[in-house]
Homo-oligomer: A and B are copies of this chain.
Amino acid sequence: MSELVTFGETMLRLTPPRGHRLSRVDQFDVHVGGAESNVAVGAANLGVEAAWVSRLPATELGERIAYALRGEGVEPLVTWTDSGRVGTYYFERGGVPRGRDVVYDRHGTPIRDATPENVATERIRAADVFFTTGITPALSSQLVETTASLLEAANEAGVTTAFDVNYRRKLWSPAAARSTLADLFPSVDVLFVAERDAREVLGIGGETETVARDLVDDYGFETVVVTRGEEGALALHDGTATSRGTYPTETVDPLGSGDAFASGFLAERLDGASIPDALAYGTATAALKRTVEGDMARVSSGEVRALVENGEGPDIER
């Protein structure tokens, strides 16, 4: 039985070498990423039994994704399809003052047709925690329905449900997102949301703690975690708010650090930790992730624990 099961789209990420441009690219590094599988990978590397539910075309490229997840210790619960393509996204790193650039190519991926019947719903129902994000229902109208059904199914089965808003402007409008999410939120126990998304998508502004309290009041979440980029995060649980700043980082790759945060938070909660400890753990996991290439948090619980305890990585131990 898996402790953490996630559901969502995972793609191949194609990245040019540092300082090179997509419009001139001669070589791509290949990574595998998707918010929900990233959370599963982060948790698995931190010691949680984790699985990921999705649909992929039965091609070498679909197998490439399953291979990546298996290696990281995540069980890929994949429904293989005869048609459709593997999604890709192109990530150009950038650097000040040039912004980063991501070109998504999500055309025709099989997850758009996912229903509770054609994915491993029974494994979701058997989990301790079920996690998905706002990207999933943004991909197709079928997925709005399916996401709702899976959250409800998890709820009914007594599984803790966790959800990261993860608003994607390229996929839907704030209004469309808000309306869909409002329907899903009653089935969600733990909500992760960027303060900006709370304001711009959900229409909830003000002080960070107020945002969290308003979210709990409006939707009845058990736990709300509001993330504020480099300014840290705030968790509200049982009426108590806890805040925490971030660690300074030498960032090698920023993608996936929000997912790393969620994985660290959830892993520590699954381990029975308090909210402040989970917040510290999530923050440290995100900081460590930023020093590693790729979207995945290839970070061990020993490293996270050392960072939480010492406030910095060890010297070279020799």
A interface residues, Cβ below 8 angstroms from B: 14, 17-30, 59-61, 63-64, 67-68, 70-73, 85-86, 88, 90, 92, 94-105, 107-108, 168-170, 247-250, 252-255, 284, 287-288, 291-293, 298, 303, 306-307, 311-318
Q: Judging by beta carbons under 8 Å apart, are A61 and B313 in contact?
A: no
- Cβ 8 A contact of A318, one of B71, B170, B312: B170
Residues of B within 8 A of A73 (CB): 70
Q: Is the CB of B104 within 8 A of A107?
A: no
| Shortest beta-carbon distance from A259 to chain B in Å | 13
Q: State in angstroms the CA–CA spacing of A291 and B94 once bound together.
A: 7
Known contacts A98-B313, A247-B97; is-contact A22 B64 (Cβ 8 Å): yes
The residue that A312 contacts in the complex, of B24, B97, B247, with Cβ under 8 A, is: B97
Q: A21-B298, A26-B29 are in contact. List 17 more A-B contacts (CB 8 A).
A: A19-B292, A21-B292, A23-B64, A23-B67, A25-B30, A70-B71, A70-B72, A85-B105, A85-B107, A88-B88, A94-B313, A96-B312, A97-B313, A98-B288, A102-B316, A102-B317, A102-B318
Given known contacts A26-B30, A60-B21, A252-B18, is B97 in contact with A318 (CB within 8 Å)? no
Task: Check if B99 sits within 8 Å of A315, measured CB to CB.
Answer: yes
CA distance A96 to B252 in the complex (A): 10
Q: Find out whether the CB atom of A249 lies under 8 angstroms from the CB atom of B317.
A: no
B24 close to A27 (CB less than 8 A): no
Residue of chain B at shortest CB distance from A94:
B313
B291 touches A95 (CB 8 A): yes
Leading 5 A-B pairs by shortest Cβ distance? A99-B313, A71-B71, A19-B293, A22-B60, A19-B252
In angstroms, how far is the closest chain B Cβ from the Cβ of A174? 14
Closest to A29 in B: B27
Assembled-state Cα–Cα distance A29/B17 (Å): 12
Query: Is A317 touching B169 in the complex (CB atoms < 8 A)?
Result: yes
User: How far, in Å, is A256 (CB) from chain B's closest CB?
Assistant: 12
